[in-house]
Amino acid sequence: MAIKLIVGLRNPGSAYEQTRHNAGAWLVTALAQRHSSHFKIDKKMQAELTEMDINSHPCRLVLPLTFMNHSGQTTRIISQFYKIEPSEILIVHDELDLPVGRIKLKTGGGHGGHNGLRDITAQLGTGEFHRLRIGIGHPGHKDLVHQYVLSRPSMNDRQQIYDAIDRGIAIIPMVLSGDMARAMNQVNA
C-alpha cells in the first residue's frame, strides 16, 4: 500500500532542534527542502504541515507541534481528518538500538521503548504502520538514555546521521509508490 503521510518525530522548539531525538524531523525537513515544499503551522492539526508530490504520488509531511511523548495525538488527528489508514503512514524516528548512521525501514512491530512510537501505537490502536528508523547509537547504559537523546551529537555522529538521512530520502519514491520490499532491500542492506 502506498504511503500518504510521513511524520517526522521531534520535540518542538529551538532548545531541542539539534538533539539526537529530532533525527526523524531532520529527515522530513530535508525531504521537504529538496522538493521546494514549505511547512505551514496548522494549530488545529497540532503540526507543521506541507504537501508534496513525488513521481505522481501525493503525500503529506508532518512535524508535530506536540512533544515526542504525545506524537500520537497529532498523528491520529491528521490521519482521521484525511482518512489515512495506519498502513499508509510512515513514522520517521531516532533509534537507539541502531548504530549511529544506520537506517532501517520496518513495517509494524512494537514501540521498542520509544515513547513517541508508544503514543502513536496507543492513539492509532495499532502498531501496523511503517517506520524509518535512524540510528543514533546508544549511550551504553539505560540510565544515560534520557540525557543522551536530548543532547547534540558530535560533529562526526551528526555527519553519519546526515548520511543516513540522504539514504532514507533516496528510498522515499519507492515508499510512496508502495514498493516497500524494494525500499527495504535498498536501505536495510
Gap between the Cα atoms of 49 and 51, Å rounded: 7
Classified as helix, coil or strand, 158 is: helix
Proportion of the chain in helix, strand, coil states, percent, rounded to 5: 45, 20, 35
Q: Strand pairing partners for 77? A: none
Q: What is the mean pLDDT of residues 169-175?
A: 97
Short-list 180, 105, 170, 90, CA closest to 135: 105
Is residue 21 part of the annotated active site? The answer reads yes
Give 46's pLDDT tier (boundaries 50, 70, 90).
very high
Helix 155-177 to helix 23-34 angle (10° resolution) is 60
What is the predicted pLDDT for the residue at 44?
A: 96
Tell me the binding residues for tRNA: 16, 67, 69, 115
Q: What is the mean pLDDT of residues 67-86?
A: 97
How much is the pTM? Answer: 0.97
Q: What is the mean pLDDT of residues 127-135?
A: 97
Catalytic residue among 21, 93, 114, 130: 21
Gap between the Cα atoms of 116 and 10, Å rounded: 9
Domain that holds residue 40: 5-187
CATH number of the structural domain spanning residue 159: 3.40.50.1470
Q: What is the mean pLDDT of residues 148-174?
A: 98
- Listed in sequence order, the DSSP H helices in the chain are 23-34, 71-81, 115-124, 145-149, 155-177, 180-187
Q: Specify whether the CB–CB gap between 12 and 64 falls below 8 A.
A: yes
Tell me the binding residues: 16, 67, 69, 115
Report how many domains make up the chain.
Answer: 1
